[in-house]
Amino acid sequence: GLISRWLVLPPLSLLVMTVYANQQSLTTTPTLYILPTGDHYISAALLQYPIVNDKDAKNSSWLFLADHRPSSTKTKTMPSNLTLDKFSAILEQQLGSLSVNKLEGIVVQSSSSGVTDARVYDKKSSAVSPNDSELLPMIVAQLSQKLPVSQYWQAGRSERWSALQQAYKVTTDSQKTATISAQRCESGKIWQLANGDLTLQAITGWSKIEDASVWDCTLAIDSSTPIRVLKYQADDPLKSLPAISQTLMSKIQPLTDQANISQSRLILNADTHERVWQMWSLLCSVDSTNHNIAINRTIWLGHSTSHISNEVISQQQIDEIITYDSKPLEVALSSDALIREGD
């Protein structure tokens, strides 16, 4: 009756307040979600970064995609079981559950022959499903129709991107297809929030070199506030748990210049060939540390099959290692710097 309904109200109100508080916590703490894709070699991660005192936007969201299969086997012995529609549906559901209604950018960190080599894509083909090499760029084409996307960074070369977009428009029979240009994700490319609290910088990727093995694009995300790394829980995203990590003892102590401190760095690794980090060591290792910035903690997120070396781990001053596939990074296990594994 009426009395019993009134008795239900206090707990219900409490529940609403609890859910609201959890949502507020999610939107006020910088968070990177590791999104399950259904393929151990294809990764997806969403960064939600709160923007303080901005009337137009409450947070800046970036989606990072990568194919970690070794470059020599990508389309041969290790085909992906993901289709465009299946993967797109997974991502749309995940983004929706996290209340993402627009993206500042999508970054495809692995190079794709589908947008590079004209022989890979046949205009006369009537097949709607893209081959493996086109999957991630086509995900960008599809997601950009579902929600606003301001930027698209693509590792390697992307001369055929406009042709792929046109093909998508034809196969979906859409007359109002939004278009987005591809920017090269390569060493030195940088983006920063207007207030300076968040910086994205590509630290690998050399697409001017005629060798696709050095095109994969690793990103360094510098933040004035530490970024939580969580494993997305589909049944209850609000209760996503911290990713399990390998914790390392940095051999190089962080600088103590208090004038310009970046409290945390998150490295999103992508390398399908050992030449990527060899090239970085050759070209960039001397300049790897910005002496005007003190980084209190560096977290590395990549695949367990990464070709990163102990030397690079030391030079990057990495403190924690997290893998998309939840397997240990072998080079870290063999390192004298390993302290423990834990949350």
The per-residue pLDDT for range 24-60, each reduced to its tens digit, is 555 689 999 999 999 999 999 999 999 877 666 689 9
Alpha helices in the chain (DSSP H): 2-28, 84-97, 135-146, 161-171, 275-283, 310-315, 330-333
Residue 29 in contact with residue 47, Cβ under 8 Å?
Answer: no
Three-state SS for 35? strand
Candidates 177, 234, 204, 258; CA nearest to 66 is 204
Mean pLDDT to the nearest integer, 134-160: 94
pLDDT attached to residue 260: 46
How far is residue 105's CA from residue 198's CA, in Å, rounded to a whole number? 14
pTM for this structure?
0.84
Mean pLDDT to the nearest integer, 129-156: 88
pLDDT attached to residue 252: 44
* Residue 331: both structure tokens together: 């080079």
How far is residue 278's CA from residue 265's CA, in Å, rounded to a whole number? 21
Report the percent of the chain where pLDDT is more than 70. Answer: 73
Residue 240 in contact with residue 232, Cβ under 8 Å?
Answer: yes
Residue 164 in contact with residue 188, Cβ under 8 Å?
Answer: no
172-215 pLDDT tens trace: 776 667 889 999 999 999 999 999 999 999 999 999 999 999 99
Quickly tell me which residue has 């042709």 as its tokens.
163
How far is residue 35's CA from residue 45's CA, in Å, rounded to a whole number? 5
Candidates 316, 240, 297; CA nearest to 36 is 240
- Greatest extent of the chain over all pairs of C-alpha atoms, in Å: 77
* Contacts of range 70-75, beta carbons closer than 8 Å, 24 or more positions apart: 70/272, 70/273, 70/305, 71/212, 71/213, 71/272, 71/273, 72/273, 74/132, 74/133, 74/272, 75/113, 75/131, 75/132, 75/133
* Residue 154: both structure tokens together: 């693509």
